[in-house]
Amino acid sequence: MAATPCCADGPLLRRRFRGTSEEVRSQLRAVEALGCADPTETEGMDDVLIVLAEVLNNIVEHAFTGVPDGWIECRISRLNGAISIETWDNGTPLPPGLLSMGSMPDIATDVADLPESGFGWFIVHSLTDDMMYERANGHNRLSFSLQIA
């Protein structure tokens, strides 16, 4: 799908790609290239990129363990000042409890003792609205939106 200025309501991007880190980087570059006619929305689009990077990288890192032909489909659209994102993949199911509000890992410790994980879902939950997950016919579907206007 061709890039559409993100300030116009409607579909912005729809792609299906192999579930690899390289393909995720390519997808994120495509989202970044959408651009905005309104420079006041740049910060909102930065949040979209942060959340999308976390979600897509988690799919590659966790859902495709033992899945040789992993694929991800990503649909992004804009409606009424929000960016709506849906991802589908053929990986393993999302572990129960991940959709509950993530908590910030304990950071009251020495830098050398900081945890290496646990921040991603906290960030995703902090920046998104109406997150929903479903598993059907061997596929995962995650949908959420971010207010940018």
Residue 19 is part of a domain; what is its CATH number? Answer: 3.30.565.10
Residue 89 lies in a domain: yes
For the chain, the domain total comes to 1
Residue 122 CB-half CA count within 13 A: 7
Residue 90 lies in a domain: yes
Secondary structure string (H, E, C) spanning the chain? CCCCCCCCCEEEEEEEEECCHHHHHHHHHHHHCCCCCCHHHHHHHHHHHHHHHHHHHHHHHHHCCCCCCCEEEEEEEEECCEEEEEEEECCCCCCCCCCCCCCCCCCCCCHHHCCCCCHHHHHHHHHCEEEEEEEECCEEEEEEEEECC
Residue 5 lies in a domain: no
Predicted TM-score (pTM) of this structure: 0.81
- 12-39 pLDDT per residue, tens: 999 999 999 999 999 999 998 876 544 5
The average confidence (pLDDT) of the chain is 81
Residue 3 lies in a domain: no
Q: Given this model, what pLDDT does residue 9 score?
A: 84
Residue 97 lies in a domain: yes
Residue 63 lies in a domain: yes
60: containing domain: 10-147
Do residues 139 and 88 lie in contact, with contact meaning Cβ atoms separated by under 8 Å? yes
Q: Given this model, what pLDDT does residue 95 score?
A: 81
Q: In which residue ranges of the chain is pLDDT below 70? A: 1-7, 35-43, 97-119, 149
Kindly tell me the burial class for residue 63, based on how many C-beta atoms sit within 10 Å of its own C-beta (0-12, 13-18, 19 or more). Answer: buried
Residue 2 lies in a domain: no
Do residues 141 and 73 lie in contact, with contact meaning Cβ atoms separated by under 8 Å? no
Residue 4 lies in a domain: no
Q: Given this model, what pLDDT does residue 108 score?
A: 54
